[in-house]
Structure 1
């Protein structure tokens, strides 16, 4: 777990993943947290390089819902949830939802082999030094691999899943934030519609 002011060497997920103690992964507790719009705090500020060499900054995401998934290839739960993440990235693409992986351990060939194996089409950040992940801990500390964060259209953390992302749960968390501010999702429209039907 990250603690403010302690050595990043002792606390980063990248160091834990590379500790060489034969752990397959750092277990999450399976908890799911969803944050109301008025309790989300400031937008996240992240910048990093993807495996293809492209630099991406969180400022580019304003107006889009973004899903960030922390993973590495030898992580057993990451392999379990990979098909779910790919499926949801495809199904939500027409609504402008962007998916990014944050790989805390692998060299490019290992990461690419994982992506080919599971048909992953969304990009991943290279984060072996843990800097990108550390920049996220001020908002919602990811305590395990895998961890999945959902960012709202302002770049604020709206939800977090520690451990394997179950399809129905993640789908609901994404759909909820996609619908925010969408007049078509307003209950008042349904009420007026019912009133019209009554007349």
Structure 2
């Protein structure tokens, strides 16, 4: 009896899914959400915060991407300042819920040693622009849906396992903290940013 071969694209997808799940333990809540197939379109983190001591941080993260307005941005543009990187997309309910807080915090730290940069993992530019207009968000976002270069750039340090995920990079461009899931407590994010700024002082 001959065995039917999977189409190449489908075989690749199966292999990727198997690889992604192979490292998950039975009590991995993110993997459980993936497996349940709820169709909600995102895997939600629990808002847990991970801080990394300066001595334990990895290498500086180098990246380059195209913003929603077509211009380019790179890690060199933020050299010497704290950078808050938020992974999001417009259809993600927790992303919408945290948007007003991110807007407020980004404005609070503008000119105070910290900048914000979004990374849109799913939308095209028009959707990102409409989202920013709706929530009056002024900081830019990299459109990462086509090549995933931004997600890849951060994967060797602390991978954004859920959307949204917010990373705080120190003034050397190293990941200092991560909030996995929605920013539930603006005061915690503000403290993480302030602490990263203070390290350089």
Per the TM superposition, whether the score is higher than 0.5 is yes
CA deviations 1:46-73 (Å, max 9, x no partner) are 1111011111111222201000000000
- Among 167, 190, 199, the alignment partner of 1:149 is 167
Give the whole-Å Cα distance in 1 for the aligned partners of 2:102 and 2:154.
Answer: 20
Shift of 1:108: 1.5
SS in 2 for 1:169: helix
Contact 2:82-2:168 within 8 A present in 1 as well: yes
Task: Within 5 Å, give how 1:114-125 maps onto structure 2.
Answer: 114-125=131-142
Task: Output aligned runs, 1:3-152, within 5 Å.
Answer: 7=16, 22-129=39-146, 130-152=148-170
Of residues 192, 197, 200, the one that matches 1:173 is 192
TM-score, reference length from structure 2:
0.79
Corresponding position: 1:159 with 2:177: yes
Q: Alignment RMSD, CA only? A: 2.1
**Mapped partners of 2:91, 2:51: distance in 1:** 28
Query: 1:143, CA displacement in angstroms?
Result: 0.5
Higher mean C-alpha displacement, 94-103 vs 23-32? 23-32
Distance in 2 (CA, whole Å) between partners of 1:163 and 1:173 is 15
Instruction: Tell me how far apart the structure 1 counterparts of residues 180 and 72 of structure 2 sit (CA, whole Å).
Output: 26
Unaligned runs of 5+ residues in structure 2 are 1-14, 21-36
| 3-state DSSP of counterpart to 2:176 | strand
Counterpart in 2 of 1:193? Answer: none
Judge conservation of contact 2:68–2:125 (CA < 8 Å) in 1: yes
Q: Provide runs of 4+ in structure 1 moved above 6 Å.
A: none
SS in 2 for 1:149: strand
Q: Deviations over 1:72-100 (max 9, x none)?
A: 00100001100111101100012131101
- Write the distance in 2 (CA, Å) between the matches of 1:67 and 1:136: 13
Q: Which runs of 5+ in 1 are unaligned?
A: 1-5, 12-19, 183-199
Distance 1:50 1:81, change over 3 A: same
